[in-house]
């Protein structure tokens, strides 16, 4: 009987620990949600009274036609959805060549590209600010897209290399023997086989662009301002309006959360970075 007892205690302990993790991760978000559903313009302490007065007023204010939120959201959508396919495709071509084709000094090139991932953005943002000022790219979609593409490229290349390497080589060899050209092998065989990996890479790059702050802060002003930058500068007419800011935060995370939930299964699979070698 003792064995059953310890097993039960263990299971209970297991669920308690999981529960504590979830409280830690989720409670702040629920708190933010509650904050966004209360009006009054100031931080409201948690109470039962609070729960009976929930309303959508903050969301109505944020979603008024022609509001700043819409302009920022539009910029974020344009920038993120232009950067994502650009980076994924350029990254996939590069990754395929590095994984499968004969590239001179491939190893050096690989390390060179990856090392960019570890460069603090603050180191490039200042010279980029000068460069963009000269080229008239400050506060433009194109400017942000180019920066985001550059700094997400290493991540895309890295993950795509491990995706391509997971394809059994025999498949590609068979296609070559059947008379496909190298490019046809890439386009018709390898490319379709890594679609799952590409979806994960695309999701992560989209999130990175959607949430990025430092480059947006330094390189945009009014016209191309993205959501995080708009939120960081948000001050209402009567000082900071916490309820409205919470509503914007919630609206900002919605599209990301929904997509992430849909792709959840693939996310775990795609993240080994080729680092498990038995």
Partner 1 sequence: MELEHLRSFGKTSKQRKLLPFLFVLPAILIILSLAIFPLGYSVYMSFNKYSFLLSPAPVFIGLRNFIEIFSDNVFLYSLKVTAFFTVLSVLAETGLGFELALLLNREFKGLSIVRTLAIVPMMISSVAAGYLWRFMYWPRYGLLDTLLSLLGIGPLPVWLSDPETALLSVILVDIWQWTPFTSLIYLAGLNAIPREPYEAAEIDGASTWQTFRYITLPLMTGVIGVAVLFRITDCIRYFDQVYVLTRGGPGYETYTTSFYIYRIGLVGNFEIGYSSAMSWVVNFISLAVCIILIRTVLRPSR
CB of 136 to partner 1, least distance (A): 16
Under the criterion CB under 8 A, does residue 197 sit at the interface with partner 1? no
> Do the Cβ atoms of 242 and 41 come closer than 8 Å?
yes
Which whole-number Å values give the CA distances from 116 to 99, 156, 237, 274, in the listed order?
19, 12, 42, 18
Our finding on whether 69 is near partner 1 (CB under 8 A) is no
The contact mask relative to partner 1 for 6-35 (x = CB under 8 A, - = no) is: --------x--xx--xx-xxxxxx-xx--x
Among the residue ranges 1-9, 66-74, 77-85, 111-119, the one whose residues contact partner 1 (CB under 8 A): 111-119
Residue 46 as a binder of partner 1 (CB under 8 A): the answer is yes
Residue 161 near partner 1 by CB under 8 A: no
Rounded to a whole number of angstroms, the minimum distance from the CB of residue 97 to partner 1 is 4
Please give the distance of CA 155 from its chain centroid, rounded to a whole number: 11
- Tell me how far apart the alpha carbons of residues 146 and 79 are, in angstroms, rounded to a whole number: 9
Size of the site for partner 1 (CB under 8 A): 98
The only residue of 39, 41, 44, 63 in contact with partner 1, by rule CB under 8 A: 44
Nearer to partner 1, 57 or 211 (CB): 211
- Write down the least CB distance from residue 111 to partner 1, Å: 9
The residue range among 1-9, 54-62, 66-74, 120-128 that interacts with partner 1, by the rule CB under 8 A, is 120-128
What is d(CA 154, CA 114) in angstroms, rounded to the nearest whole number?
5
- Cα separation, 77 vs 80, in Å, equals 5
Which of 63, 77, 78, 125 forms a contact with partner 1 (CB under 8 A)? 125
Residue with tokens 């993205």: 226
Stretch that binds partner 1, among 52-60, 62-70, 77-85, 264-272 (CB under 8 A): 264-272
Q: Residue 112 is encoded by which pair of tokens? A: 């060179």
Name residues whose C-beta falls within 8 Å of residue 211's C-beta, 6 or more positions apart in sequence: 228, 256
Nearer to partner 1, 65 or 104 (CB): 104
Distance between CA atoms of residues 83 and 246, nearest Å: 27
Tokens (6 digits) for 102: 């004969």
CB of 79 to partner 1, least distance (A): 14
Indicate the length of the chain as a whole number.
278
Of 65 and 170, the one with the shorter C-beta distance to partner 1 is 170
Q: In this structure, is the dihedral angle defined by the CA atoms of residues 133, 136, 138 and 143, taken in order, positive or negative?
A: negative
Which of 9, 56, 135, 176 touches partner 1 by CB under 8 A? 176
Check binding of 272 to partner 1 (CB under 8 A). Answer: yes
Residues 6+ apart with CB under 8 A from 207: 256, 260
Binding mask 217-256 for partner 1 (x = CB under 8 A): xx--------xxx-xx---------x--xx-xx--xx--x
229 token code pair: 């930058």
202 or 245: CB nearest partner 1: 245
| DSSP codes, 86-119 | HHHHHHHHHHHHHHHS--TTHHHHHHHHHHGGGS
């Amino acid at each position: 009987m003792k064995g059953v007892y310890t097993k039960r205690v263990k299971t209970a302990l297991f669920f308690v620990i999981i529960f504590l993790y979830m409280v830690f991760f989720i409670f702040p978000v629920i708190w933010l949600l509650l904050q966004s559903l209360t009006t009054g313009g100031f931080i409201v302490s948690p109470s039962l009274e609070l729960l009976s007065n929930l309303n959508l007023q903050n969301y109505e204010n944020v979603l008024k036609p022609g509001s700043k939120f819409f302009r920022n959201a539009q910029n974020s959508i344009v920038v993120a959805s232009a950067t994502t396919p650009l980076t994924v495709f350029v990254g996939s071509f590069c990754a395929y060549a590095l994984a499968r084709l004969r590239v001179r000094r491939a190893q050096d090139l690989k390390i060179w590209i990856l090392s960019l991932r570890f460069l603090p953005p603050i180191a490039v943002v200042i010279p980029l600010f000068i460069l963009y000022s000269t080229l008239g790219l400050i506060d433009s979609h194109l400017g942000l897209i180019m920066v985001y593409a550059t700094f997400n490229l290493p991540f895309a290349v890295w993950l795509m290399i491990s995706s391509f390497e997971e394809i059994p080589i025999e498949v590609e060899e068979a296609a070559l023997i059947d008379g496909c050209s190298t490019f046809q092998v890439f386009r018709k065989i390898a490319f379709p086989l890594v679609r799952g990996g590409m979806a994960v890479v695309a999701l992560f790059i989209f999130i990175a662009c959607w949430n990025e702050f430092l480059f947006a802060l330094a390189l945009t002003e009014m016209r191309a301002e993205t959501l995080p930058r708009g939120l960081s500068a948000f001050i209402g007419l009567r000082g900071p309006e916490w309820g409205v800011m919470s509503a914007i935060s919630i609206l900002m995370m919605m599209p990301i959360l929904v997509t992430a939930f849909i792709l959840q299964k693939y996310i775990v699979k795609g993240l080994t970075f080729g680092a498990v070698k038995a």
